[in-house]
Chain A
Amino acid sequence: MKEKPLHVLLVEDNAGDARLLREMFRTEKPGSFELTHLLRMSEAMIHLGKGDVDVVLLDMGLPDAHGLDTVRQAHAVAPDIPLIVLTGLDDEELAAAAMKEGAQDYLIKGQIENRALPRALRHAIERHRMQTETELIRTNQMQFKDEFLSHVSHELRSPLTAIYGFVTILLDRLAGDLNLNQREYLEIVLRNIKQLQSMINDLLEVTGLQTGKLQIELQRTSVSDAVEYTVDTLLASASAKDIALSSDVERALPSVCADPTRLRQVLIILVDNAIKFTPASGVVKVQARTLEKDLNFLTLEVSDSGCGISPDMTERIFERLVQATDPALAGRKGLGLGLYICKELVTRLGGRIWAKSVPGRGSVFCFTLPVFSLPNLLAPAFRREKLTTISITLVVTEIGSQTGWLSDEVRAEQSRGVRDLLQRCLHSDLDILLPKMGPAGAVELFFIVAITDRGGEAITKRIREQFDDFEHTQRAGLTLLTSYQSLEAIKRNTNEPMKDLVERAATQIQELMNEETSLRMVTNGQ
């Protein structure tokens, strides 16, 4: 069988060096190599972009690229093509750095022995192929592991449900009276069921994090609500250990831009950990305040008077399955996934998490979250379109009721229904819905910042059509009042820079919302 020739791309601007390299292929079997010689990085990039290259021989000093940049550029265009760099005699350090950037090998000019070049090329190709294969196997294994974990975790839930069902049936004396010992032992079973359940949830959470299934919904989120919820939830387990659990949230703390469910989840993990690792009669405290150094962020802190963490572990504890503390102190704990979950979540919410500790005196877990800012959130939508030909429209939608609102519950439900309806009318990722904050989650006034070339008519029409089919319209006699105003009207000068427009739109909405969000301008160059 005739072997296909290997396509070698030689990028070398020095004619003498190039000639010497060419010579080295002479002794090879005819048809085993096919050499393309280019002088510049720019030409090489175009050639690589076309594909059909098996290996690249790259000089690191070219007229239009130098040093590691040559490797980076080539690697960026053709990450799947093995690369050998050519260096001078005193450049071995550079060569080593090039290999870190993804080069397979390096050859020192003037030191290449006869026949060594073709061999080096073949080796580079083979090594690269093996690496790719190994990587593929690894990816498959990871995926299998995640699917396996997810499957097992789900399957564990049915037997757990049966155990929970019957233990609580016994505890609630649905099967007859219990003596004190029986009751106590069943309480122990129940406690362990809860532990098992939380481990299963952690496992599912982690597989979700790794497979990208995790959904995060950023919205205006109250930190004090989340802190209060956390303290309420864990107060009982703190009192059981005689631990004083308290919170201290700075007054008039601004809202953050986060996912409220995820924020609660992070706080619960941290406080729950703090309780676990704090001996009886200790103290656990949750604090929240603005960051003095950077007003764009809030800091939340969970501190305890527990056993603490040794300094070398304060970073490692956020890794998966790492547990820093002596298990004897905490009794049986979880899977060592909690802090890893926290780190992943906080990072995805745009914050940072870290730990400080004095062993024996306690630990402090801190994380930051970005402060809710309307302009910051509006900016991406405005940026996506070229605003010169586009009008931004502010649609104000008011929901009224002919029969008067019913209970708070019904009202909240209808409000949510209306919100879903309005969302269906929007252009995904472009238009923005801002429900006016109301008590108990019920909202009767919505603002839509719509980016549309047809003024607000198109979106208003969509809303009206949808509203006619809305089930609550008939049941509760809801009415819809929609008006729109083009932001063109606000924008007196068409040449006004975009950021001013964003700011003014935000200000306008702000006034309508009658909220006390501090307005700051988008400063990151947009």
Chain B
Amino acid sequence: MGNKKILIIEDDGDVRLGYHVRLKANNYDTFFAVDAIGSLREARTHQPDLIILDLGLPGGDGFVVMERLKTNPQLAVIPVIVVSGRGGLANRTRAVEAGAKAFFEKPVDNDDLLEAIRKVLGGPVQLGKAEFLPDPKRRKVLL
């Protein structure tokens, strides 16, 4: 079986290269996109197994990318991990509602990211980090 393919959507070139080196060392094949439009094109071309997505992108942010991915049945099934400089509850919640499997604030710890990738690629089980996201709309829970 060949390596799993990961599409990295990130507009910062240095950050992109950093991911590439780290992921390659862990036997993943990487592809890149730097903006919203390129993301869809690369996703269609390579049919990655996973997408790592930044939220702040030129030409439409990460949320736009997730929405567009959803409109294509072939791309809609690709799991997305968000790694963003934009933290905060609102972004987390929005990302998870949009279907992200995990949400990390930059800089994400290497081990955390790799573990998340392994879990997402490993099966249908969702991730701890993403699941524990508090939902601002949530009602009172006492236990």
Give the shortest distance, in Å, between A466 (CB) and chain B (any CB): 13
Is the Cβ of B141 less than 8 Å from the Cβ of A433? yes
Interface SS, B side: loop
> Which of chain A's residues have a CB closer than 8 A to the CB of B124?
475
B66-90 vs A, Cβ < 8 Å mask (1 yes, 0 no): 0000000000000000000111111
Pick the interface stretch among A19-27, A154-162, A480-488: A154-162
CB of A423 closer than 8 Å to a CB of B: yes
With A157-B85, A158-B106, A164-B107 as known contacts, state yes or no: A215 contacts B139, CB within 8 Å: no
Question: CB-nearest residue of chain A relative to B138?
Answer: A423
Interface SS, A side: helix
CB of B118 closer than 8 Å to a CB of A: no
A349-368 vs B, Cβ < 8 Å mask (1 yes, 0 no): 00000000000000000000
Is the Cβ of A215 less than 8 Å from the Cβ of B134? yes
Interface centre among B22, B86, B131, B141 (most CB of A within 10 A): B141
Q: Other than the known A161-B15, A164-B107, what 4 A-B pairs have Cβ atoms closer than 8 Å?
A: A162-B12, A165-B21, A165-B107, A204-B87
Give the shortest distance, in Å, between B30 (CB) and chain A (any CB): 13
Question: CB-nearest residue of chain A relative to B83?
Answer: A161
Number of A-B pairs, beta carbon distance below 8 Å: 113
Is the Cβ of A161 less than 8 Å from the Cβ of B18? yes
**Minimum-distance CB pairs A-B, first 8:** A165-B18, A162-B14, A157-B85, A161-B107, A164-B107, A157-B106, A161-B106, A423-B139
CB of B19 closer than 8 Å to a CB of A: yes
Q: Could you list 8 examples of A-B contacts with CB < 8 Å?
A: A158-B12, A197-B107, A213-B88, A213-B90, A381-B140, A412-B131, A420-B135, A432-B142
Pick the interface stretch among A83-91, A326-334, A434-442: A434-442
Residues of A within 8 A of B (CB): 154-155, 157-162, 164-166, 168-169, 172, 174-175, 193, 197, 204, 208, 213, 215, 217-220, 261, 372, 374, 377, 381, 407, 409-410, 412-413, 416, 419-420, 423, 426, 428-429, 431-437, 443, 475
> Which of chain B's residues have a CB closer than 8 A to the CB of A374?
142
Question: CB-nearest residue of chain B relative to A436?
Answer: B143
